[in-house]
Structure 1
Amino acid sequence: MYKIAVDVMGSDDAPVCELSGIKLALEELTHIKVIAFGKKEEIEAYGLKHERLEYVYTDDKIIGTDDATTAFRLKKSASMIMAIQAVKDKKADAVVSAGNTGAYITAGLFMLGRIKGIRRPALATLFPTATKGKYFVFADLGAVVDATPEILNQTGIVGTQLAKIMLNIEHPKVGLLNIGEEDKKGTTLYVETNKLLRENHKVDFIGNIEPRYIMDGRANVIVADGFTGNIALKSYEGMQQTITTVLKREIMKSFGTKIGGLLIKPALKELKATLDYEGIGGAVLAGVKSPLIKAHGTTTSFQFSSAIKIATTFLEKDLVGEITKVLEKDTDK
């Protein structure tokens, strides 16, 4: 039975959202146990009990405005830190949190350590394409903002293993996010990364991909540095929210547009189902020694349960072991 350590104090609606998500996950996954970390009075107010749920009460929590390094150093009794510590102490197999991203990545990296051979872990998630139900692995989304070509080249290797596990694709195609398709396009970082990826026998590199084409399904893995990847992710989120707001406003303008809105409602539902990545649940810090899943800060209970499922999938398919084997082969050579 897999044990998942969960920080229940991280989301905007903590701990209600996390506890509701835990309930959903426990109902669906009968082979996991959850160890929930959080403040006693807030947890008891929710009243969730389950034979495969254990609580560890904490005195503190890390909030969104906390400095990452300071929080890691000074808030040792925070729910997030104690959840990661449980994995480090082998009391749990994976950890899930919707809390402060910087603090979570910093604590996870220093407490769990990197897989041997990993230069810098990457934050990766599944992202939708224009085809309903088809996704690609997007990395890095913010873990390494000062990447080198060697780091991005390795992100391509890690992303390939993620695609094999999460998408069940034997030979994933890898693309490099860039401002143009030509090999010499972009900054020195991207030109040199392109060269390394073309020489890398561990990835099936198909070349540069412009941002407007990342969702057309041509690549199963998109590689970017953490700064660029995070901007791309947030731009997508902002555009999605803007389109939704404008559509609602225009549909409600008059009786005629309301009728039109009713007529296209099925198509709009399909559009949302195709392009909405929120159901994925979260991102994984790929490259640390145990699965570390970062759920959205604005997560819903369904999304949080999905994050727990992702952690379970990585344990079942031994993500850490698969990445380790690939890197060991390179080291042996």
Structure 2
Amino acid sequence: MKIAVDAMGGDNAPQVVVEGIEKARDEWSDLEFVLYGDETKIKEVLQNNKNITIVHTDEEILGTDEPVKAIRSKKNSSMVRAARSVKDGENDAMFSLGNTGALLAAGIFIIGRIKQVDRPALMPTLPVTNSPLGVNMLDVGANAEAKATYLQQWAVMGSIYAQDVKQIKEPRIGLLNNGSEADKGDTLHKEAYELLKNTEEINFIGNVESNDILAGVADVIVTDGFTGNAALKATEGTARIILHELKKALMNNGFFTKMGAAIVAPSLKGIKDTFDTSRAGGAVLLGLKSPVVKAHGAADVDTIFYTVKQIYDMLLNDTVNKANTYFEKMQSDK
């Protein structure tokens, strides 16, 4: 199994990328990695080239670049070359820490989508209060507008992913809505509810409200990309502000407060660990012909390691072809 890596994407590339890849390579000896990027910079931080090949590229897609224009004009960039290698069958999957929009465009226009999937969706894993497995939510930004059939397709793919990668036998699928009752929501959500309720082979549990996203009531939550992105940013921002304000309150209110902070430090670390998403890896672009994963630009070595594990599990379980088979069967049954 070979994974194409955009080694120049992210805030600390290529060092953190190379270190994460070497850690993953040492864990899974049956994986090979092809690193696309500046060969000189990669070699400066590479300790051992076992199972690692470098393909030199002399262009980079920046975070400020317009996504579609960038993948069309910077054909020798590390991201485009990595995506092209997957398209041509040289590698089995790819991941990047780079420009999210550009990676979405590269996935859709270069690697290509599964024939029966109308729109690929971006799916991260969020922490929940009662399980180390977290909750997957899709879409969180690849599609600002959606149809009910898109949400149905995303629910199926999310369910297959949760079974394969997270080893959940019957993943609970929820629909993000403005109420838990079946008749809640606008036309899109009412139509999606009926489709999901009648979709075989998924365990649809009904509507989920935004205040329950992190409560562990579902394993996969489906929504349109506009709503999903807004909910994701609000959730992440709230968690970050609360943790920051809690730390400030404990450290800036005198000696006795600091003493109390020292006493409760182990418990606070547990809260921090709960909201640490590094073990979940990156956000998967579901609906493409091969696994493509986007890790955060500020990702550390551990995040990259677990992102490789995500891809490894998808390749081992043939997750993409399972989705293909399901949609082909669904099409033939119509």
TM-score range, shorter chain: over 0.9
SS in 2 for 1:41: helix
Q: Is the 8 A contact 2:278 2:302 kept in 1?
A: no
Matches within 5 A, 1:35-74: 35-74=34-73
One-letter amino acid matched to 2:73? L
Partner of residue 222, structure 1: 221
User: How do residues 8-47 of structure 1 correspond to structure 2 at under 5 angstroms?
Assistant: 8-47=7-46
Deviation of the 1:222 alpha carbon: 0.5
Using the alignment, how far apart are the partners of 2:309 and 2:203 within structure 1?
Answer: 28
Moved more, 281-290 or 42-51: 42-51
Instruction: State the distance in 2 between where 1:208 and 1:117 align.
Output: 25
> How many residues matched?
332
Tell me how far 1:264 sits from its aligned partner: 0.8
More divergent stretch after superposition (165-174 vs 285-294): 165-174
SS of the residue aligned with 2:23? helix
CA drift of 1:176 comes to 0.5
Q: Aligned with 1:228: secondary structure? A: helix
Asked whether the 8 Å contact 1:132–1:275 carries over to 2, the reply is no
Measure, in 2, the Cα distance between the counterparts of 1:297 and 1:82.
19
SS of 1:135's partner is strand
CA contact (8 A) 2:11 2:297 kept: yes
Structure 1 residue 75 corresponds to structure 2 residue 81: no
The answer on whether the counterparts of 2:131 and 2:216 sit within 8 Å (CA) in structure 1 is no
The answer on whether the counterparts of 1:37 and 1:80 sit within 8 Å (CA) in structure 2 is yes
TM-score (norm 2): 0.96
SS of equivalent to 1:324:
helix
| Alignment partner, residue 194 of structure 1 | 193
- Counterpart for residue 293 of structure 2: 293
User: Is the 1:174–1:205 Cα contact (8 Å) retained in structure 2?
Assistant: yes
After superposition, where does 1:237-316 map in structure 2 within 5 Å? 237-253=236-252, 254-316=254-316
Match of 1:328 in 2: 328
- SS of equivalent residue, structure 2 residue 76: coil
* 1:188 Cα deviation after fit: 1.9
CA RMSD of aligned residues (A): 1.3
Task: Kindly indicate whether the alpha-carbon contact (under 8 Å) linking 1:4 and 1:93 is maintained by their aligned counterparts in 2.
Answer: yes
Residues 136 and 163 in structure 1, CA contact (< 8 A), matched pair in contact too: no
In structure 2, how many angstroms separate the alpha carbons of the residues matched to 1:311 and 1:42?
25
Q: Structure 1: which 4+ aligned runs deviate by more than 6 Å?
A: none
Q: CA deviation at 1:106?
A: 0.8
Task: Determine the C-alpha separation between the residues in 1 that align with 2:60 and 2:102.
Answer: 11
Contact 2:278 2:306 in 1 (8 A): no
Which letter maps to 2:168? Answer: I
1:31 Cα deviation from its structure 2 partner: 1.0
Report the CA distance between 1:116 and its aligned residue.
2.3
CA distance in 2, matches of 1:82, 1:277: 28
* 1:22 counterpart letter in structure 2: I
Q: Distance in 2 between matches of 1:171 and 1:49?
A: 41
> Percent identity at matched positions?
39
Which segments of 5 or more consecutive residues in structure 2 lack a partner in the other structure? none
Deviation at 1:215, TM superposition (A): 2.1
1:114 CA displacement: 1.3
What is the SS of the residue equivalent to 2:137?
Answer: strand
In the aligned structure 2, how far is the partner of 1:266 from the partner of 1:5? Answer: 39
Matched to 1:155, the amino acid is: W
How many Å apart are 1:278 and its aligned residue? 3.0
Map Cα deviations across residues 92-126 of structure 1 (whole Å, 9 max, x no partner): 11101011111101111111111121111111122
Name the structure 2 match of 1:84. 83
SS in 2 for 1:207: strand
Q: 1:132 to 1:170 in 2, by over 3 A?
A: closer
CA contact (8 A) 1:161 1:322 kept: yes
Aligned ranges 1:87-102 → 2 under 5 Å: 87-102=86-101
TM-score by length of 1: 0.96
Residue pair 1:135, 1:167 contacting (<8 A) in 2 also: no
CA distance in 1, matches of 2:283, 2:268: 26
Cα deviation, residue 281, structure 1: 1.7
Q: Is the 8 A contact 2:283 2:293 kept in 1?
A: yes
Task: Render the CA deviation track for 1:176-203: whole Å, top value 9, x for unaligned.
Answer: 0111112222222212211211222232
Give the Å deviation of 1:135: 1.9
Distance across 2 between alignment mates of 1:166 and 1:70? 34
Task: Indicate conservation of the 8 Å contact 1:4/1:33, yes or no.
Answer: yes
Q: Deviations over 1:51-73 (max 9, x none)?
A: 21110010101011111110011
Report how far residue 132 of structure 1 moved.
Answer: 4.2
Alignment match, 2:318: 318
Q: What secondary structure is seen at the aligned counterpart in 1 of 2:124?
A: strand
Corresponding residue for 2:212? Answer: 213
CA–CA distance in structure 1, aligned partners of residues 133 and 81 of structure 2 = 36
